[in-house]
Structures are given as C-alpha cells and as structure tokens.
C-alpha cells in the first residue's frame, strides 16, 4: 500500500488585482454603472462615485482621477467578469473594506492613496500616494510598495485632503 499524500503547498494562490482579502468586508454592495458613462472599458480596482439618477438601484460612474469624486468605493475582483461597460452591475467595496490594488509608484505603509485613471498600456487603474489639497482619497496603504506594479493591501477609506497631510472623512 502506497502512502502518498499531496503537499498542501503544491498550489500557491497569488493575489489578484481588486481581490477582496480575508479581512472583514463591512460594506460591499452591488451597483450599476451609469449607462450614459463616457468610460468605454471599466476594470476592477477602479474607484467609483455616486450618480444622482432616479431608480431603485445604486447608480455609480468611474472617477476619472484624484480630482473627481467623492469616492464611494472601489470595484472588486469577480472570477466571472473583470472588464465592464456602462450599464453593467459591479460589486463595490466601500469604507472599511480591504482590497488588493496595484501601485503606480513606491509609497510607504499608511500612505493616503488616490486611484489613478486607467493607463493606456495595461488599462488597469493603480493607486498612488496623494497629499494634494482637494484631491479625493480612496484608501490607506496597509502594505508598502517599493516600485510600480506591486500588489498591495489597501483599506478603502474615501476621504478628501483639505490640507496636505490632513484627511477629512466623507
């Protein structure tokens, strides 16, 4: 009789952009992307803002940069679909949730992060340290990024920078 067992470390699971972490997710909800949105392609990890449109569903549109907001939350990873168009329904992680997001440059643990718009090369949004007054912040870095393109845990904490270094919750 053979005594063969599978090594539990045989399959490594790596984080995916926009993936929810095992941390508690206090505010995750389904939203519809504004059918009149000018965004042609919307990917996971993109910050969204509320739209004042009548109807029973929560209507959102993408934030085009750190001056567009206020941020409601960030689109979460979905195993079935990660590229969306206007009118699609998405899962949005709101304040207190923790997501894995990609860095656009190095930043320290605890940095205030704004979502940068989709880039031409990857079409994926990234996060960057932002202390500019009046910019909308999506969250706080729970991990440290030493270069662009690294996946880092981010606590979603939509706020506005009133003055450099001071953050006011929305």
Residue 87 has pLDDT above 90, yes or no: yes
Ranges of beta strands (E only) in 51-148 are 59-62, 73-75, 83-84, 89-93, 98-102, 112-116, 126-129, 136-141
Domain contains 21: no
Vertex 107 angle, CA 101 and 110, to 5°: 80
Whether residue 23 is contained in a domain is answered as: no
- pLDDT, one tens digit per residue, over 137-161 is 899 999 999 999 899 999 999 887 6
Q: What is the pTM of this model?
A: 0.78
Total structural domains in the chain? 1
pLDDT in tens, 14-59: 677 777 666 666 788 899 999 999 888 888 889 999 999 888 889 9
- Is 7 within the bounds of a domain? no
Evaluate whether 116 touches 60 at the Cβ level (below 8 Å): no
- Give CA–CA dist 152/103, Å, rounded: 7
Is 16 contained in some domain? no
Question: For residue 32, is it within any domain?
Answer: yes
- Write out the residue range of the structural domain in which residue 125 sits: 28-169
Q: Is residue 9 part of a domain?
A: no
> Considering the domain boundaries, does residue 17 fall inside one?
no
Determine, yes or no, domain membership for 62: yes
Q: How far is CA 129 from CA 52, 99, 104, 145, 152, in A?
A: 29, 16, 9, 10, 13
Q: What angle do CA 159, 164, 168 make, to 5 degrees?
A: 25
């Amino acid at each position: 009789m053979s005594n063969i067992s599978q090594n539990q470390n045989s399959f490594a699971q790596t984080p995916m952009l926009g993936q929810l972490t095992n941390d508690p997710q206090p505010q995750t909800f389904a939203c519809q992307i504004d059918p009149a949105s000018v965004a042609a392609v919307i990917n996971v990890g993109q910050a969204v803002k509320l739209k004042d449109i009548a109807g029973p569903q929560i209507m959102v549109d993408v934030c085009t940069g750190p001056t567009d907001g206020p941020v409601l939350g960030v689109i979460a990873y979905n195993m079935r679909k990660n590229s969306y168009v206007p009118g699609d329904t998405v899962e949005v992680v709101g304040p207190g949730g923790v997501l894995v997001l990609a860095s656009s440059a190095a930043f320290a643990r605890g940095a205030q992060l704004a979502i940068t718009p989709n880039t031409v090369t990857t079409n994926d949004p990234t996060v960057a340290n932002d202390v500019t007054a009046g910019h909308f912040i999506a969250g706080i870095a729970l991990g440290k990024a030493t270069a662009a393109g690294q996946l880092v845990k981010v606590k979603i904490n939509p706020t506005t920078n009133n003055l450099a270094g001071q953050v006011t919750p929305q």
